[in-house]
């Protein structure tokens, strides 16, 4: 309760500081509207049909992208973490692909898949798969060898070892990767929507509100929604990690 109160106080202090800076003229209100205006516009977003359509598209694509990321990265991480020669063989390819910015691949993906939702989902998966993959590979190397030896001594079948030993052991590390990937995925989704324009989503709403209409209050209101969505998802994943996966990240949420 005390932690939540401190966070609330910090948020209120930030909003008050924002309001004062704009009201005294340190920043022009047409560039940075006051916090009170942005919060009013934020509340009004939920009656805006265009925003609701975009938000549903973005959040649904986010859920699909994060699910695909886990389905791809966890099995691949377990495989690479278990088979050293395979990990060494494909590590040059992985290290080449990992630093590539997803937005730089937008033209290529549009040519291959078009500019619909599959484009932003593909780019989001590409960008967010790496934290889960590398955390899983690292976790595989940190599993207590005595546990594995005990499972072998009792002749535990490989599939049962996977679900009763390997996955429970790596779950905290993997969940940390999922939390990081959730933020990356959301960033790439909104950025792709903003840059391609052919994809319905919050990014498209932000583009037309800012560039076409010059409504920075609407842009910031949509930004608040994106930040709030990311915060709630991260808090939910952190709660799962703390409650069921044995340990939480040191110092609280990342």
Percent of the chain with pLDDT over 70: 95
CB 105 within 8 A of CB 155: no
Q: Give the residue, 226 or 149, on which the prediction is more confident.
A: 226
pLDDT of residue 147: 76
pLDDT of residue 146: 76
Q: Is the pLDDT confidence value at 38 over 80?
A: yes
CATH numbers and ranges of domains, the chain:
41-244 (1.10.3720.10)
Which of the listed ranges 61-75, 142-156, 187-201 does the model predict with the highest average pLDDT?
61-75
For 165, residues 6+ apart whose C-beta sits below 8 A from its C-beta are 143, 147, 148, 151, 156
pLDDT band at 253 (very low <50, low <70, confident <90, very high): very low
HSE-up of 2 (CA within 13 Å, CB side)?
A: 0
Q: What is the pLDDT of residues 185-238, one digit of tens each?
A: 999 999 999 988 767 899 999 999 888 778 899 999 999 999 999 999 998 998
Rounded mean pLDDT of the chain? Answer: 87
Q: Is the pLDDT confidence value at 178 over 90?
A: yes
pTM of this structure: 0.87
What whole-number distance in Å separates Cα of residue 95 and Cα of residue 180?
A: 19
pLDDT band at 174 (very low <50, low <70, confident <90, very high): very high
Q: Is the pLDDT confidence value at 252 over 60?
A: no
Q: At what angle do helices 216-244 and 35-45 cross, to 10 degrees?
A: 70
Tokens for 38, please give them: 């942005």
pLDDT of residue 246: 60
What whole-number distance in Å separates Cα of residue 56 and Cα of residue 91?
A: 37
């Amino acid at each position: 309760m005390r932690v939540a109160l401190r966070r609330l106080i910090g948020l209120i202090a930030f909003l008050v500081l924002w309001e004062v800076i704009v009201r005294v003229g340190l920043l022009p209100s047409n560039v940075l509207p006051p916090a009170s205006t942005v919060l009013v516009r934020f509340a009004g977003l939920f009656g805006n049909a265009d925003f609701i359509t975009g938000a549903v598209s973005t959040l649904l694509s986010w859920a699909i992208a994060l699910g695909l990321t886990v389905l791809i990265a966890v099995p691949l991480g377990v495989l690479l973490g278990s088979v050293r020669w395979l990990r060494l063989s494909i590590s040059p390819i992985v290290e080449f692909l990992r630093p590539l910015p997803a937005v730089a691949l937008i033209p290529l993906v549009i040519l291959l898949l078009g500019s619909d939702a599959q484009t932003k989902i593909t780019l989001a998966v590409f960008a967010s798969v790496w934290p889960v993959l590398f955390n899983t590979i690292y976790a595989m190397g940190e599993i207590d060898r005595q546990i594995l030896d005990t499972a072998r001594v009792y002749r535990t079948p490989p599939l049962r070892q996977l679900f009763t030993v390997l996955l429970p052991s790596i779950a905290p590390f993997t969940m940390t990767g999922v939390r990081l990937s959730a933020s990356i995925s959301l960033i790439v989704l909104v950025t792709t929507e903003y840059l391609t324009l052919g994809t319905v989503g919050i990014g498209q709403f932000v583009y037309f509100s800012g560039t076409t209409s010059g409504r920075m209050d609407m842009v910031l209101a949509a930004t608040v929604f994106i930040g709030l969505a990311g915060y709630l998802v991260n808090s939910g994943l952190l709660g799962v990690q703390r409650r069921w996966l044995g340990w939480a990240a040191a110092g609280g949420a990342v």
